[in-house]
């Protein structure tokens, strides 16, 4: 069993095309020996966003704090603390902290 306290799960800045004011930490992943899927924590500063993109794996997400928008092909969906999200494989998506507040969430993916 592995227990990682909050204090040792420090998010680090993520850079790349279409990414703005995003930090991330892998909470349970390769280093922890996760067999099938990985859990990451994302923190977006107010005004931050992940890239608007698509890929052939899913996201399973839980909104921890703040609020924002999940942008997709058919518009935006509101996100509030406690919301659970499934982004299916190959769906266009972007997480946006558009409300003038930070947005933090867990995002799990299948093991690459």
In the complex, which residues of this chain contact a copy of itself (CB under 8 A)? Answer: 1-6, 9, 27-28, 32-37, 39, 41, 58, 60, 62, 64, 70, 72, 77-89, 91, 93, 106, 108, 110
Q: How far is the CB of 64 from a copy of itself (least distance, A)?
A: 8
**For residue 92, which of 62, 63, 50 has the smallest C-alpha distance?**
50
Compute the Cα dihedral for 90, 100, 14, 42 and give only its sign. negative
Residue with smaller CB distance to a copy of itself, 53 or 78: 78
Residue with smaller CB distance to a copy of itself, 24 or 62: 62
Residue with smaller CB distance to a copy of itself, 19 or 64: 64
**Separation of alpha carbons 111 and 17, rounded Å:** 23
Residue 90: count of CB within 10 angstroms of its CB: 10
């Amino acid at each position: 069993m592995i227990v990682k306290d909050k204090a040792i799960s420090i998010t680090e800045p993520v850079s790349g095309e279409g990414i703005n004011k995003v930090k991330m930490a892998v909470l349970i992943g390769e280093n922890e020996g996760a067999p099938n899927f990985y859990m990451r924590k994302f923190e977006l500063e107010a005004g931050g966003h992940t890239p608007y993109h698509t890929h052939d794996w899913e996201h399973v997400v839980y909104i921890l704090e703040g609020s924002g928008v999940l942008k997709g092909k058919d518009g935006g969906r509101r996100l509030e603390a406690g919301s659970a999200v499934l982004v299916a494989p190959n769906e266009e998506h972007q997480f946006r902290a558009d409300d003038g507040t930070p947005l933090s969430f867990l995002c799990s993916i299948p093991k690459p």
